[in-house]
């Protein structure tokens, strides 16, 4: 890894800045699974569109975003030690709740979505992403898959509106990852296409909003 980082530092003086991200991934300075590249970019883009310095954030089962953004506060709660299906940690305590690759593992996703809704302050946002065409990966169990339409239906049932969804996948990535074991293909921009084939969605994501409470009430 040190060799790749040295090559990256030297190459930065020769290659235009617009190629920086591809260069980092090519030299494996930033390693990311092929199936996550577009999803990660879209989630990061959305968070950067928010006033994230003023957000109190909860990430369910992870600390992926803790060092990427300067949130006002950050808390993590590990599933299944914290069972999001059992109820909120605290009502109206967070401006942003993030659940990355968690909801396929919860026993009662409708209850989990309702718990997240209760944890958000009025105007808060829930970022959730899940697999669709992905092999079974028990942690501790693997239970559900959603299309974009299915995810919108789940979140609308909990009270979220508006809801923005997206998905990404292609047959090359799908076939590459459909092999025994729990390994996923590392993205190499020279070898792997990021073309989206909607019929072969591998991952699905949503940005779901809790409406502001009317001050007239």
- What pTM does this model have? 0.84
- Going along the chain from its start, the domains and CATH numbers come out as 34-209 (3.40.50.150)
Tell me what the mean pLDDT of segment 102-114 comes to. Answer: 96
26-35, 58-67, 141-150 — which one is most confidently predicted on average?
141-150
Instruction: Give residue-wise pLDDT tens across range 159-202.
Output: 999 999 999 999 999 999 999 998 999 999 989 999 999 999 99
Lowest mean pLDDT among 2-16, 83-97, 116-130, 132-146: 2-16
Q: Give CA separation, 21 vs 26, 29, 140, 187, in Å.
A: 9, 10, 34, 12
Is residue 32 scored above 60 in pLDDT? yes
Bridge-based pairing of strands 94-100 and 120-131 is parallel
Instruction: Give residue-wise pLDDT tens across range 37-73.
Output: 999 999 999 999 999 999 999 999 888 899 899 999 9
Q: What is the pLDDT of residue 139?
A: 81
Q: What is the pLDDT of residue 23?
A: 55
């Amino acid at each position: 890894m040190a060799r790749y980082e040295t090559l990256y530092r030297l190459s930065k003086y020769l290659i235009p800045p617009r190629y920086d991200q591809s260069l980092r991934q090519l030299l494996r300075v930033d390693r990311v699974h092929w199936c996550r590249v577009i999803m990660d970019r879209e989630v990061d883009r959305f968070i950067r569109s928010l006033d994230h310095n003023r957000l109190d954030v909860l990430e369910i089962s992870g600390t992926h975003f803790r060092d990427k953004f300067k949130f006002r506060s950050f808390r993590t709660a590990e599933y299944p030690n914290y069972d999001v299906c059992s109820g909120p940690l605290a009502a109206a305590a967070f401006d942003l709740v993030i659940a990355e690759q968690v909801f396929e593992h919860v026993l009662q996703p409708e209850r989990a979505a309702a718990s997240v809704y209760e944890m958000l302050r009025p105007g808060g946002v829930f970022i959730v992403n899940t697999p669709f065409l992905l092999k079974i990966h028990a942690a501790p169990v693997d239970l559900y898959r959603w299309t974009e339409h299915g995810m919108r239906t789940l979140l609308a049932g909990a009270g979220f509106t508006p809801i923005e969804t997206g998905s990404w996948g292609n047959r090359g990535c799908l076939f590459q990852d459909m092999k025994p074991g729990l390994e996923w293909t590392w993205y190499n921009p020279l070898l792997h296409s990021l073309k989206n084939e909607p019929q072969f969605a591998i991952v699905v994501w949503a940005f779901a909003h809790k409406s502001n409470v009317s001050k007239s009430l």
